[in-house]
């Protein structure tokens, strides 16, 4: 792993679980430590780290960009349609649900992305 890839991984991990960083935010934090790191370098690092399952990429309907967080236990996300904030939701599908869906519909499920959308407590 290159030093720039390690830096990007450290930036995401240091922010911790429950923090959802845009690529621009990761770039800004990385530049605080390595002022010459380029946007494209961060983009490539995030893609590689995601492919290696060291970080998670979150794509939510209605969001302008993807978010990144440290890899961790399965959970869902909530996106406020008013302010755009994203937060973790302690929820997982019941055991066996994906197997049942795959069997019933004749599909192979490789990944699950579960998100809820509505209005957050602060905006209500």
What CATH number does the domain containing 44 carry? 1.10.10.10
Q: Are residues 124 and 78 in the same domain?
A: yes
CA 12 remoteness from chain centre: 10
Q: Are residues 96 and 114 in the same domain?
A: yes
Q: Are residues 58 and 79 in the same domain?
A: no
Please work out, in degrees rounded to the nearest 5, the angle formed at the alpha carbon of residue 22 by the alpha carbons of 69 and 110: 50
* Tally of domains within the chain: 2
The whole-number pLDDT of residue 92 equals 79
Q: Are residues 6 and 23 in the same domain?
A: yes
* Separation of alpha carbons 24 and 124, rounded Å: 28
The CATH number for 99's domain is 3.30.1490.190
The whole-number pLDDT of residue 81 equals 93
Q: Are residues 80 and 47 in the same domain?
A: no
Q: Are residues 66 and 82 in the same domain?
A: no
For the chain, what is the total number of helices (H) and then of strands (E)? Answer: 4, 6
* Separation of alpha carbons 115 and 38, rounded Å: 31
Kindly report the pTM of this predicted structure: 0.81
Residues in the chain: 124
The whole-number pLDDT of residue 119 equals 97
The whole-number pLDDT of residue 105 equals 97
| Residue 63 three-state SS | coil
The whole-number pLDDT of residue 65 equals 87
Q: Are residues 28 and 48 in the same domain?
A: yes
- Residues of the domain holding 36: 1-72
Q: Are residues 38 and 58 in the same domain?
A: yes
For the chain, 124 residues long, give each residue's pLDDT as a single digit of tens. Answer: 899 999 999 999 999 888 899 999 999 999 999 999 999 999 999 999 999 999 999 988 888 889 999 988 888 999 999 999 999 998 878 889 999 999 999 999 988 888 999 999 999 9
């Amino acid at each position: 792993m290159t030093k720039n890839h390690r830096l990007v991984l450290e930036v995401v991990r240091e922010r911790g679980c429950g923090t959802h960083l845009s690529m621009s935010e990761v770039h800004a934090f990385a530049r605080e430590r390595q002022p010459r790191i380029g946007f494209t370098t961060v983009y490539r690092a995030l893609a590689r780290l995601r492919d290696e399952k060291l970080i998670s990429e979150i794509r939510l309907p209605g969001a302008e960009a993807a978010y990144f967080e440290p890899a961790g236990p399965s959970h869902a996300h909530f996106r406020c349609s008013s302010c755009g904030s994203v937060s973790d939701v302690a929820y997982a599908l019941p055991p066996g649900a994906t197997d049942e869906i795959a069997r019933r519909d004749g599909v192979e499920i490789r990944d699950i992305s579960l998100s809820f959308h509505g209005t957050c407590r602060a905006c209500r």
